[in-house]
């Protein structure tokens, strides 16, 4: 089912407006939902009974060498080829300037031959410096969390389970610093796999690579513990291993994607907002769902308690969120507040009227969660095949009307103020990575990327105001070629109102971090740990089932995981109907 074939009523009384949703402060408060892409992938794995096998492990006693981990779908196999090496301590860094990593990976399309493995052994550890073929779908790299890595190996080798508090404080054994797909550096173009059912949803092949990397890291520490401890060694307790995710360090490279793919972003957001609207429009709660929600508030409280960061702004938000969830739990204890007509709308409205954006967005996730039966179909609407085109038949009068209506947020910004154009976006000369510069401080203004949507619309609007409406739009574009790109954008997005970030991306107060969190939440990331306004660390797949657990009844029960156990409340959506 394509996104274009699904009709979604964005005029629903319960639908939040684009003006409310597409503002940076709310976007920067996002949480994953059951429509996030990791959740979608796990459900497919379970439904289609994917099989997982380690097909090669050729490493030394320290774990250095090559391993292959395969995911076998109903029609094809994908193989993660992992190369591990020892690296000097002074060369260990998460920055893009790194040249060596503890582990590097290629996701191979099919089952690699020894010749394929040998070829990739010469190229994958080089990352951007290597040469890749269409058989390679994803290129990735990762570094160890040394404290957690050693603690787990030492504990397991001596026959004990590791320090769960330490694991909780970090959340992963390794963190990726790049996961490249879609034609990067010679890997297969998106077009090669776009029609495969398992790849149609956004970023499924990249997230499959990350899932296999997670399995590899857990397998690696268990094997190293066995090597060190012999017969004394034990495997990780399944609840602990399930709690271990994959870390990620994400910076500005992710931000431009949101601005370059407006139709896709509209589809993501409208799916999430439609899910929320469907739940809010329920007059009588589905059996058991309110009870699940009440228990999930306790789960969320524990999850928040384990979400510790150094960033002062996010720490203050977490502290506020802790108090607000407690207040909501107390409000819910009065059954008259929730056991009434349209209970979910009542809960949402109470939270929106009284609590922070961080709390509002967490509650959006929690009230959608137990309603898989009425929202999961929306996952099929979150991709797109639409190619934006310049529409010469549109009149200038229509264009003016659209700008006045859909882009009021842009036309009312005073770009003559220095603070309104403080920043600019450009590519670095050395790594061709996106950068966020300050005018008068950083070089690169002459290489500015076309991401200043608000400013471009504002400038277009000023010219339109003094132009005869009878002029054909094609003639206007010839007279003012600098506006052709923004006209095409407006033409292709005004029917998709959730496609545009409704804020000034050049403002002195703008934080790219808000864009990063927004996108990462759609991926399914959690435990956002900002290291500056420009990059953050996250956890991926924390709480997700391991390959041997994909067929378990609770395979879809992993929102807001807590240390030491999978989930403490029953998940209506996957019918497990029991506490784990």
Which tokens in the block code for residue 150? 């050693």
Least Cα distance to 363 among 331, 315, 316 occurs for 331
Place of tokens 């996957």: 574
The candidate with the shortest Cα–Cα distance to 357, out of 14, 23, 19, is: 23
pLDDT score recorded for residue 575: 44
Cross-strand bridge partners of residue 178: 141
Token readout for 89 is 């301590």
- Rounded CA-CA distance 529/46 in Å is 30
Which residues does 4 contact at the CB level (< 8 Å), separation at least 6? 384, 385, 386
**CA pair distance 517, 318, nearest whole angstrom:** 15
**Helix, strand or coil for residue 172?**
strand
Residues 6+ apart with CB under 8 A from 21: 27, 269, 273, 498
Structure letter (DSSP) for residue 296: H
* Residue 131, CA distances (Å) to 121, 157, 184, 209, 576 in order: 11, 39, 11, 19, 46
**pTM exceeds 0.85 for this model:** yes
User: Under 8 Å CB-to-CB from 301, ≥6 apart: which residues?
Assistant: 322, 325, 326, 329
| Cα–Cα distance, 503 to 512 (Å, whole number) | 12
Contacts 24+ apart (CB under 8 A), 187-190: 187/132, 187/133, 187/134, 187/136, 187/137, 187/138, 187/139, 188/109, 188/134, 188/135, 188/136, 188/137, 189/134
pLDDT tens digits in sequence order for the chain, 580 residues long? 333 434 456 667 899 999 999 999 999 999 999 999 999 999 999 999 999 999 999 999 999 999 999 999 999 999 999 999 998 877 777 666 678 899 999 999 999 999 999 999 999 999 999 999 999 999 999 999 999 999 999 999 999 999 999 999 999 999 999 999 988 889 999 999 999 999 999 999 999 999 999 999 999 999 999 999 999 999 999 999 999 999 998 888 888 889 999 999 999 999 999 999 999 999 999 999 999 999 999 999 999 999 999 999 999 999 999 999 999 999 999 999 999 999 999 999 999 999 999 999 999 999 999 999 999 999 999 999 888 889 988 999 999 999 999 999 999 999 999 999 999 888 776 666 788 888 888 887 888 888 899 999 999 999 999 999 889 999 999 999 999 999 999 998 888 999 999 999 999 999 999 999 999 999 999 999 999 999 999 999 999 999 999 999 999 999 999 996 544 444 544 445 443 2
Whose CA is closest to 84, among 111, 51, 57, 110? 57
Q: Angle CA(267)–CA(272)–CA(275) in degrees, nearest 5?
A: 120
Q: Residue 328 has which token pair?
A: 């909501």
Alpha helices in 261-311 (DSSP H): 262-280, 289-305
Contacts of 387 (CB under 8 A, 6+ apart): none
Q: For residue 78, which phi and psi values (nearest 5 degrees)?
A: -120, 135
**Beta-bridge partners for 78:** 71, 109
Q: What are the residue ranges spanned by the domains of the chain?
A: 37-252, 396-493
| Structure token digits, residue 459 | 């400038």
Residue 467 near residue 459 (C-beta atoms within 8 A) = no
What's the token pair of residue 45?
């794995």
Q: Are 59 and 84 in contact (CB under 8 A)?
A: yes
Q: How far is CA 19 from the centre of its chain?
A: 22
CB 124 within 8 A of CB 100: no
Which H/E stretch holds residue 177?
strand 172-180
HEC sequence for 18-60: HHHHCCHHHHCCCCCCCCCHHHHHHHHHHHCCCEEEEEEEEEC
Which residues does 100 contact at the CB level (< 8 Å), separation at least 6? 85, 87, 88, 91, 125
What sign results for the dihedral spanned by CA atoms 438, 443, 446, 447? negative
Q: Residue 261: helix, strand or coil by DSSP?
A: coil
Q: What's the confidence (pLDDT) of residue 429?
A: 65
Predicted local distance difference test score (pLDDT) of residue 352: 98
Q: What are phi and psi of 224, to 5 degrees?
A: -70, -35
């Amino acid at each position: 089912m394509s996104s274009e074939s699904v009709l979604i009523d964005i005029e629903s009384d319960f639908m939040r407006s684009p003006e409310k949703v597409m503002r940076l402060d709310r976007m920067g408060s996002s949480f994953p939902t059951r429509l996030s892409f990791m959740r979608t992938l796990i459900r497919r794995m379970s439904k289609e009974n994917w099989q997982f096998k380690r097909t090669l492990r050729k490493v030394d006693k320290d774990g250095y060498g090559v391993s292959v981990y395969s995911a076998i779908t109903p029609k094809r196999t994908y193989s993660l080829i992992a190369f591990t090496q020892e690296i000097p301590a002074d060369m260990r860094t998460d920055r893009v300037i790194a040249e060596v990593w503890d582990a590097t990976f290629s996701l191979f399309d099919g089952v690699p031959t020894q010749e394929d493995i040998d070829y990739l052994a010469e190229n994958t550890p080089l990352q951007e410096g290597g040469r890749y073929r269409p058989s390679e779908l994803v290129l990735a790299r990762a570094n160890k969390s040394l404290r957690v890595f050693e603690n787990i190996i030492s504990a397991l080798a001596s026959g004990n389970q590791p320090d769960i508090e330490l694991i909780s404080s970090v959340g992963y054994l390794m963190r990726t610093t790049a996961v490249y797909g879609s034609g990067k550096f010679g890997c297969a173009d998106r077009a090669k796999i776009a029609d495969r059912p398992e790849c149609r949803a956004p970023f499924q092949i990249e997230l499959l690579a990350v899932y296999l990397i997670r399995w590899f890291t857990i397998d690696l520490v268990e094997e190293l513990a066995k090597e060190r401890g012999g017969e004394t060694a034990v495997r990780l307790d399944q609840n602990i291993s399930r709690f271990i995710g994959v870390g990620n360090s994400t910076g500005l490279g992710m931000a431009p994607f949101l601005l370059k793919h407006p139709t896709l972003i509209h589809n993501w957001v409208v799916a999430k907002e439609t899910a929320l609207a469907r739940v809010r429009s329920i007059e009588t709660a589905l059996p058991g769902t309110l009870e699940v929600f009440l228990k999930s508030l306790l789960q969320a409280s524990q999850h928040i308690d384990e979400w510790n960061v150094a960033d002062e702004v996010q720490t203050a938000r977490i502290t506020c969120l802790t108090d607000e969830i407690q207040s909501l739990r107390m409000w819910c204890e009065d059954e008259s507040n929730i056991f009434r007509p349209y209970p979910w709308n009542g809960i949402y409205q109470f939270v929106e009227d009284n609590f922070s954006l961080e709390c509002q967005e967490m509650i959006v996730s929690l009230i959608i969660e137990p309603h898989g039966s009425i929202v999961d179909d929306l996952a099929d609407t979150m991709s797109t095949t639409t190619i934006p085109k310049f529409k010469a038949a549109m009149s200038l009068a229509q264009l003016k009307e659209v700008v006045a209506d859909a882009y009021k947020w842009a036309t009312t910004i005073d770009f003559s103020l220095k603070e309104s154009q403080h920043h600019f976006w450009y590519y670095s000369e050395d790594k061709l990575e996106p950068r966020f510069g300050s005018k008068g401080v950083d070089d690169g203004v002459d290489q500015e990327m076309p991401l200043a949507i608000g400013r471009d619309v504002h400038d277009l609007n000023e010219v339109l105001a003094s132009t005869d409406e009878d002029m054909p739009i094609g003639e206007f574009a010839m007279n003012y070629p600098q506006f052709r790109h923004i006209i095409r954008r407006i033409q292709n997005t005004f029917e998709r109102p959730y496609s545009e970030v409704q804020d000034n991306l050049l403002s002195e107060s703008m934080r790219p971090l808000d864009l990063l969190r927004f996108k990462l939440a759609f991926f399914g990331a959690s435990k956002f740990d900002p290291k500056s306004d420009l990059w953050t660390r996250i956890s991926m797949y924390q709480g997700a089932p391991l390959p041997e657990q994909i067929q378990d009844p609770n395979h879809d029960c992993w929102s807001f995981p807590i240390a030491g156990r999978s989930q403490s409340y029953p998940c209506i959506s996957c019918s497990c109907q029991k506490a784990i």
